């Protein structure tokens, strides 16, 4: 009996860290709620990038072309919208793996020359999760679904 | 005096008939949001693909502009992913109708991306606008073509700045 319980626990842990079909549906639903429409998107984008630059101030230099020094400018806001628009696309495609992979290949091309290291993707992932949790609430935020599914996306962008 | 009011009324009427008003953009965001949300599985691919199939049916020469993304095979993953990107760009712009200064930056960015592609013209955008008008009523309930067109034009006007006619 004891070993059965231990086995079930292991199973639960194994499931928890996977971006399976059910986790993908959960992430799609929670993202749709957070991304919303209209102004809430801009708030989400702002939350993500203020978090990123707080944890990695040096990353601002990578965004000089779009006014990374001041995330309140229309130039940077438009950039933030493009990024979360890209996140939105990948999440919408989570349950259509062939097209998702084609899209990740496209994003990989757009990033290959910019020298983004793995740690920066981790920071961005963390920022996205914090921002989504902020909007939908910590009671319902499913970190075990979000983390592995965001890993799928950023791993694809890193090629 | 009366004549002045008449003139002002005409001016207001003239403006209202062409520009994307606050009411129009709210309506567009509603019409669009209800069919495009990330939570709905499979909808995006179907809608985006339907728009491009309609465009290629009406403007066969347009297919050649999409060689890089397998435009001749609308069912390929590469082309489907392209469809999604294009319509996602529209999605961002529709959202930004509420924040015109950011919208203008975003439309300028999209204009640059299109200027780099030889063969992309203003009339091409007019054609795809017609495709959206044929596809959207089929998927959106309570579709308002007038409000949609006024705001769609507001977006494409910014995107096509500097493109040939």
Q: Where do runs of H (alpha helix) occur along B59-163?
A: 77-96, 100-115, 122-139, 145-159
For residue B58, count other CB atoms closer than 10 A to its CB.
13
Distance from CA of A123 to the nearest CA of B (A): 23
Rounded to whole angstroms, the Cα distance separating A101 from A98 reads: 5
Residues of chain B neighbouring A96 (CB-CB closer than 8 A): 41-42, 45
What secondary structure letter does DSSP report for B63?
G
Which pLDDT belongs to residue B164? 93
Distance from CA of B39 to the nearest CA of A (A): 5
Domain B39-160 indexed as CATH 3.40.50.200? no
**Mean pLDDT, rounded, for B120-134:** 96
Residue B39 banded pLDDT, cuts 50, 70, 90 = confident
pLDDT digits (tens, 9 = 90+) for B44-98: 999 999 999 999 999 999 999 999 999 999 999 999 999 999 999 999 999 999 9
Cα A23 to the center of its chain, rounded Å: 14
ipTM above 0.90, yes or no: no
Rounded to whole angstroms, the Cα distance separating A100 from A92 reads: 9
HEC-encoded secondary structure of chain A: CHHHHHHHHHHHHHHHCCCCHHHHHHHHHHHHHHHCCCHHHHHHHHHHHHHHHHHCHHHHHHHHHHCCCCCCCHHHHHHHHHHHHHHHHHHHCCCCHHHHHHHHHHHHHHHHCCCCCHHHHHHHHHHHHHHHHHHHCCCCCCHHHHHHHHHHHHHHHCC
Measured torsion, CA atoms of residues B97, B103, B109, B110, in degrees rounded to the nearest 10: 10
Mutate to test the interface with A, among B36, B82, B83, B102 (most CBs of A within 10 A): B102
* Distant-in-sequence, close-in-space partners of B124: CB < 8 Å, separation ≥ 6: B59, B62, B65
Q: Give the residue extent of every domain in chain B.
A: 39-160
pLDDT of A26 over the 90 cut:
yes
Which pLDDT belongs to residue B54? 97
CA nearest neighbour of B38 among A90, A128, A77: A90
Copy the structure tokens of residue A28. Answer: 């799609």
Class of CATH domain A19-157: mainly alpha
Rounded to whole angstroms, the Cα distance separating B134 from A16 reads: 44
Residue of chain B whose alpha carbon sits nearest to that of A38: B95
Contact A99 B95 (CB under 8 A): no
Rounded to whole angstroms, the Cα distance separating A122 from B133 reads: 41
Distance from CA of A3 to the nearest CA of B (A): 39
Burial label, A61 (beta-carbon count in 10 A; 0-12, 13-18, 19+): exposed
Percentage, residues of chain B above pLDDT 90: 81
What secondary structure letter does DSSP report for B49?
H
Phi, psi of A56, rounded to the nearest 5 degrees: -140, 75
What secondary structure letter does DSSP report for B75?
T
First and final C-alpha spacing in chain B: 42
Residue of chain A whose alpha carbon sits nearest to that of B82: A103
Percentage, residues of chain A above pLDDT 90: 80
Confirm or deny that A46 is annotated as ligand binding. Answer: no
B152 with B103: CB under 8 angstroms?
no
B131 with B55: CB under 8 angstroms?
yes
Percentage, residues of chain B above pLDDT 70: 90
What secondary structure letter does DSSP report for B7?
H
pTM: 0.85
pLDDT of A2 over the 90 cut:
no
Q: Give the residue extent of every domain in chain A.
A: 19-157
Cα B122 to the center of its chain, rounded Å: 12
Rounded to whole angstroms, the Cα distance separating B82 from B67 reads: 11
């Amino acid at each position: 009996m004891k070993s059965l319980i231990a086995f079930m626990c292991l199973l639960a842990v194994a499931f928890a860290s996977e971006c399976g079909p059910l986790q993908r549906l959960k992430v799609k639903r929670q993202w749709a709620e957070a991304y919303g429409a209209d102004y809430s998107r801009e708030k989400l984008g702002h939350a993500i990038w203020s978090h990123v630059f707080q944890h990695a101030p040096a990353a601002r230099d990578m965004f000089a072309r779009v006014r990374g020094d001041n995330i309140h400018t229309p130039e940077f806001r438009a950039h933030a919208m493009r990024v979360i628009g890209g996140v939105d696309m990948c999440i919408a495609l989570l349950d259509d793996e062939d097209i998702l992979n084609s899209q990740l290949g496209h994003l990989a091309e757009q990033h290959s020359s910019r020298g983004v290291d793995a740690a920066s993707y981790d920071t961005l992932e963390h920022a996205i999760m914090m921002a989504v949790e902020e909007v939908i609430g910590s009671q319902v935020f499913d970190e075990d679904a979000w983390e592995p599914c965001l890993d799928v996306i950023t791993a694809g962008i890193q090629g | 005096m009366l004549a002045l009011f008449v003139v002002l009324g005409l001016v207001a009427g003239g403006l209202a008939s062409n520009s994307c008003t606050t009411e129009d953009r709210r309506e567009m965001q509603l019409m669009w949001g209800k069919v495009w949300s990330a939570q709905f599985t499979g909808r995006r691919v179907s809608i985006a693909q339907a728009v491009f199939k309609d465009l290629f049916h009406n403007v066969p020469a347009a297919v050649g502009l999409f060689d890089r993304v397998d435009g001749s095979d609308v069912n390929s993953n590469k082309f489907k992913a392209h469809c999604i990107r294009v319509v996602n760009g529209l999605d961002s712009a529709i959202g930004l109708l509420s924040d015109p200064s950011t919208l203008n930056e975003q439309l300028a960015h999209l204009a640059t991306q299109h200027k780099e592609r030889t063969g992309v013209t203003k009339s091409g955008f007019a054609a795809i606008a017609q495709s959206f008008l044929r596809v959207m009523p089929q998927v959106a309930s309570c579709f308002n073509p007038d409000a949609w067109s006024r705001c769609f034009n507001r977006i494409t006007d910014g995107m096509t700045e500097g493109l040939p006619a």
